[in-house]
Every structure is written in structure tokens, then in C-alpha cells.
């Protein structure tokens, strides 16, 4: 975890603007926890970014085999940014607290940070759920208040035609614009 926390800075977001880090577990039919939601809301309320560590299932026991007194492990599973995006959208629908807006809030999906084939893609949750991030390991950031320099850096990773609204956690009069529409940049 410590290494991904430092490596996440390669996307251009300033590390000192991060709030509490969260973990997003795999949902299943009987367990769909959203305990991470309040931390995202708290972070974004203070303008802070949220680093999301995505679930890893390695050496998980097969409970059906255990019932038969056999020790069998399920194949490893690694949560993708796509899966996390879908679960975050579901969490916002369930909680309805406005912690983020799936079609507007700027997020950054990252895979294999520090490797030659690392992948960084920025966009909304609705946009990220359909992107190809490739092999694991993945993590993501839900952006809080984004500085103009951060937006400039993120432009090279942005989904083409992204519909994000910068700093959508604040109450503004009028529409928010992307960095490329801002005369100061």
C-alpha cells in the first residue's frame, strides 16, 4: 500500500491534496458494503482527493470444498478500475448523499504503476467503467478540488470528449469548465 500511495502521484495530482485512503471490496450477492462512502464524502467536502485501493482476492478458500473437508483455493481475482467504477456508481445510487457524481466527477484510473506498461486514464466514473486498463494491479483516485496545474497534467490522460466537471464538489453558479476551456492555462 505504501508504494502505491507514492506512485499515484505520477498521474499529476499533488500528493499533499489527498485525504483518507479507502479500500473498495468486491461486492457479491449477499454483501455490498458502502462503508467507504462516508470517507469519500468527507474528503471531497474538504476538497481532497481520495485514493481508492481495489480489492485483491488471493488464496481465498473454496467454502463448498471446505464443507467436504477439502482444502481448495479459488483462483486469484484482482479488482479492475472498471469493476470499482461500477460499484462506486451503485454506492452513490444507494447512499444518495452526493459524495460524487458518476457522470461529472473527475476520477483517475491507474494500472501497473511504476511498470513500463503502466496505464493512466482520467474521466468520469461512467467513462472509466468502459476503458481498457489491461492487466492488474489497479487503483483509482476520486478527485476533490483540482488545481489548474493538476488539470493541465491530467489532460494527456483524459478520455477523449470527457464530460467531467472540474471541482464539482463545490457549489457554483453556472457551468464548470475543463482546463482546456480555461483562459488562464
DSSP the chain: -HHHHHHGGGGS--GGGB---EEEPPP-SS----TTHHHHHHHHHTT-BEEEEEPEE-S-B-HHHHHTT---BPPPEE--HHHHHHHHHHHHHHH-S-S--TTTS-EEEEESTTSTT-EEEEE-HHHHTTS---SSPEEEEE--S--HHHHHHHGGGBPTT----TTTTS--SS----GGG-TT-
Which pLDDT does position 166 carry in this prediction?
83
Beta carbons of 165 and 44 less than 8 angstroms apart: no
Q: Give the model confidence (pLDDT) of 71-81 as tens digits.
A: 999 899 999 99
Predicted TM-score (pTM) of the model is 0.86
Question: Residue 65 pLDDT > 50, yes or no?
Answer: yes
Q: What is the 3-state secondary structure (H, E, C) of 75-90?
A: CCEECCHHHHHHHHHH
pLDDT in tens, 156-185: 999 999 999 988 865 443 333 343 444 433
pLDDT more than 70, % of the chain: 90
Mean pLDDT, residues 131-159 taken together: 97
Higher-confidence position of 176 and 146: 146
CA atoms of 19 and 170, how far apart (whole Å): 16
Q: Taking 50 as the threshold, does the pLDDT of residue 95 lie above it?
A: yes
Amino acid at each position: 500500500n505504501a508504494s502505491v500511495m507514492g506512485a499515484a502521484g505520477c498521474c499529476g495530482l499533488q500528493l499533499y491534496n489527498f485525504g483518507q485512503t479507502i479500500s473498495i471490496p468486491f461486492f457479491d450477492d449477499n454483501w455490498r458494503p458502502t462503508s467507504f462512502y462516508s470517507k469519500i464524502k468527507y474528503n471531497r467536502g474538504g476538497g481532497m482527493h481520495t485514493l481508492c485501493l481495489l480489492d485483491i482476492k488471493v488464496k481465498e478458500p473454496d467454502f463448498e470444498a471446505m464443507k467436504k473437508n477439502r482444502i481448495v483455493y479459488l483462483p486469484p481475482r484482482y479488482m479492475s478500475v472498471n469493476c470499482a467504477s461500477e460499484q462506486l456508481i451503485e454506492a452513490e445510487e444507494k447512499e444518495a448523499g452526493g459524495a460524487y457524481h458518476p457522470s461529472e466527477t473527475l476520477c483517475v484510473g491507474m494500472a501497473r504503476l511504476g511498470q513500463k506498461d503502466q496505464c493512466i486514464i482520467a474521466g468520469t466514473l461512467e467513462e472509466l467503467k468502459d476503458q481498457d486498463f489491461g492487466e492488474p494491479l489497479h487503483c483509482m483516485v476520486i478527485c476533490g478540488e483540482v488545481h489548474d496545474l493538476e488539470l493541465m497534467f491530467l489532460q494527456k490522460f483524459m478520455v477523449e470528449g470527457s464530460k467531467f466537471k472540474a471541482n464539482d464538489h463545490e457549489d457554483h453558479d453556472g457551468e464548470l469548465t475543463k482546463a482546456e476551456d480555461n483562459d488562464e492555462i
